[in-house]
Structure 1
């Protein structure tokens, strides 16, 4: 749901609900083609493509997805056929180390609509272009404001599909394609944060902020 707090220009039309009629109306608004998935899901589990051919089974799909909570319904992005990009952000900036961006692509396997690795998707080298960097710049202020130190952006075409804030996995995959140990940059940044916190406590802990 954190994803919904970002500008509409970078995210697909999204509905979060447990109401079947709302999801059905949303599907009609989107031309009968949407994707539904569980709000608490991960790894591509419980993801369904709804289109005109299976609209009659929508209720059954909603039942399956809503067993553990709310349903996320999103407009279907045609660019999803080409997979997605996981771009890592650190301290509000695309993570770049030794001239390389920490990113990789996930491609679909066969006819499966999911590109998640756990669902059989394949990994590939990513090209971090101006579109991806523009998306990163748009979400940067909110990430910094909320203290989101390390996150993973899932980008499809010109849209942001998800922001992974609890388990932004795949840094090893980025290393695999870029030949750079990005974990080193993350550790150095964490050490710097700890050092700054210690310096602040030693030098400013006794200052009365009300007098400043």
Structure 2
């Protein structure tokens, strides 16, 4: 089969990205791959949807660094492909990375993903579901029991009052954003930096204020869900703890966070079970839950990362399981045609 990976840009891709691990697993299983970016779709006058795809030689690569070097080199060629010749379009772009400098690009994956799905391409995660998840307000649609106490506002007075109600402090972050950008911990409503932080973050739009969870000092747990259920193999879960650097609120890996092995308990699985129905309803094939205690801080449905870290910690390459799941979906589509909607097929 042919898998197209939709990313923000080729230049931003890195050897340690989960997308790289998925591409390597696909090549290792004998599949064709290509990369697309927001400017690569073409809708022609005859209503055919074409993509200008960056294709790589169909060889196997022993190291992610070797694959990445070829991806960035002249050995990778641009080929114009009819979307109908793509089996799976894997949407792996982060809209927030384009929101400021390229706002036109932020929603391209969901927009053209819908067109591709109409032409029989399996698009994951479902573009209709992703369109509803363009910012963190999507998280408010999940059961209240799994969410920290949260205020969403652009009013400094509302935020100050909310902080005053939480003695352990509050986390402030923008409604639109990812990767730990502009995330701050406010200890009290009298914090001398509150006004400055508010001005900096509110310039990006609405703010989220979340009650600080003391368990977050040890970091959060990134747990992958596939087809709505925790991804696991032989009793090992696709999960790891993201440990923040000393003095750092954020546990994001690019913010100097480190990966550590973690035990997945029945309580954590219960949290995942509570969000499963909505993830299935929205066609979310591959998702990353960021869990602290019995709460979920965020649900990453666009570019959940960490599979290479898990492989290094646990010795299990879950990228293989993801590609195997895609093979199953392609077989189901071929057997049933378009009788199964893209959203339903996404989590079968």
Contact 1:32 1:50 (C-alpha < 8 Å) held by counterparts? no
Q: Is the contact between residue 161 and residue 189 of structure 2 (CA under 8 Å) also seen in structure 1? A: no
Give, in whole Å, the separation in 1 of the partners of 2:296 and 2:240.
Answer: 15
Report what 1:156 is aligned to: 292
What residue in structure 1 maps to residue 8 of structure 2?
Answer: none
Q: For residues 133 and 18 of structure 1, what CA distance do their matches in structure 2 show?
A: 35
Equivalences for residues 69-84 of structure 1 within 5 A: 69-84=205-220
Provide the secondary structure at the position in 1 that maps to 2:325.
helix
C-alpha contact 1:3 1:162 (8 A) present in aligned 2: yes
Residue number among 123, 127, 132 corresponding to 2:268 in the alignment: 132
Q: 1:50 to 1:165 in 2, by over 3 A?
A: same
Equivalent residues in 2 for 1:50-65, closer than 5 Å: 50-52=186-188, 55-65=191-201
Q: Name which of structure 1's ranges 127-136 and 62-71 shifts more when overlaid on structure 2.
A: 62-71
Deviation at 1:154, TM superposition (A): 0.2
Q: CA RMSD in A?
A: 1.7
The structure whose residues are more often helix, as a share, is 1
User: What residue in structure 2 maps to residue 16 of structure 1?
Assistant: 152
Q: Which of 331, 334, 337 does residue 195 from structure 1 map onto? A: 331
In the TM superposition, residue 56 of structure 1 has moved relative to its aligned partner by 3.3
Post-superposition offset of 1:3? 1.0
| Number of equivalences | 204
Among 288, 308, 320, the alignment partner of 1:172 is: 308
Is the CA contact 2:149–2:210 (under 8 Å) kept in the aligned structure 1?
yes
> 2:228 corresponds to which residue?
92
1:31-79 CA-partner distances (Å, limit 9, x unpaired): 3710101122222221111113852321211111122222111000000
Residue 182 (structure 1) shift: 0.2
Contact 1:32–1:55 (CA under 8 A) maintained in structure 2: no
Secondary structure of 1:68's counterpart equals: coil
* The one of 169, 178, 183 aligned to 1:42: 178
Larger RCO of the pair (alpha carbons < 8 Å, separation 6+):
1
Q: Would the alpha carbon gap of residues 122 and 53 (structure 1) be closer, same or farther in structure 2, given more than 3 Å must change? A: farther
1:161-208 Cα shifts (integer Å, max 9, x gaps): 100000101111111111011001100111111221221118x59xxx
Partner SS, residue 173 of structure 2? strand
Structure 2-normalised TM-score? Answer: 0.56
State the distance in 2 between where 1:11 and 1:128 align: 19
- Output the TM-score relative to the length of structure 1: 0.91
How far apart are residue 159 of structure 1 and its match? 0.9
Deviation of the 1:27 alpha carbon = 1.0
Q: Which runs of 5+ in 1 are unaligned?
A: 206-212
Aligned partner of 1:31 in structure 2 is 167
Q: 1:47 to 1:195 in 2, by over 3 A?
A: same
Alignment check: 8 A CA contact 1:109 1:120 kept = yes
After TM superposition, where is structure 1 displaced by more than 6 Å over at least 4 residues in a row?
none
Task: Determine if contact 2:164/2:188 at 8 Å carries over to the other structure.
Answer: no
Deviation, 1:16, is 1.7
